[in-house]
């Protein structure tokens, strides 16, 4: 635990000293990030749609159900609006995102990248089962 704290402090100091010179991430890392982000958004969207398809029929025909249906439809519209806003703001975030990816690649990926990749690979089958990116 103490070694991790010392390592984190050293990395934080290096990063703070080099903030004006943020390294650019490799295209491979950017592509990997974009792919993971795209699949994540698809999982959220499909999960929300599947939830709505499940809950709305259960609620139909009851007073509470009709109110729940209205809330669900409003929530779905808000979800789609939020997704649209996020996609609209995305170009504004690109510079910051590339900076963070560059810092990650330079200072953290050599130490944690392989373990993070293994963790993501291990979680994928579980996510594919419970929150698939594609409709089956």
104 in Cβ contact with 15 (< 8 Å): no
19 in Cβ contact with 108 (< 8 Å): no
**CB neighbour list of residue 69: distance below 8 Å, 6 or more residues apart:** 56, 59, 60
Regarding pTM above 0.85, the answer is no
Tokens of 42: 């698809």
Return averaged pLDDT per consecutive 10 residues of the chain, 136 residues in all: 67 61 88 92 86 74 69 78 72 76 91 94 93 77
- List the one residue out of 32, 28, 34, 30 whose CA is nearest residue 121: 32
Question: In degrees, to the nearest 5, what angle opens at C-alpha 40 toward C-alphas 39 and 41?
Answer: 90
Structural domain boundaries in the chain: 2-130
């Amino acid at each position: 635990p103490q070694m991790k704290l010392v390592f984190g402090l050293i990395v934080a100091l290096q990063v703070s000293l080099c903030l004006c010179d943020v390294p650019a991430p490799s295209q491979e890392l950017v592509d990997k990030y974009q792919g993971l982000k795209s699949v994540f958004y698809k999982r959220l969207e499909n999960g929300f749609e599947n939830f709505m398809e499940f809950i709305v029929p259960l609620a139909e025909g009851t007073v509470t159900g009709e109110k729940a249906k209205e809330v669900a439809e409003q929530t779905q519209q808000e979800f789609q609006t939020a997704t649209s806003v996020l996609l609209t703001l995305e170009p504004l975030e690109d510079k910051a995102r590339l900076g963070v990816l560059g810092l990650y690649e330079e200072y953290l990926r050599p130490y944690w990248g392989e373990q993070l990749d293994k963790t993501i690979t291990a979680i994928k089958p579980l996510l594919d089962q419970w929150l698939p990116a594609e409709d089956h």
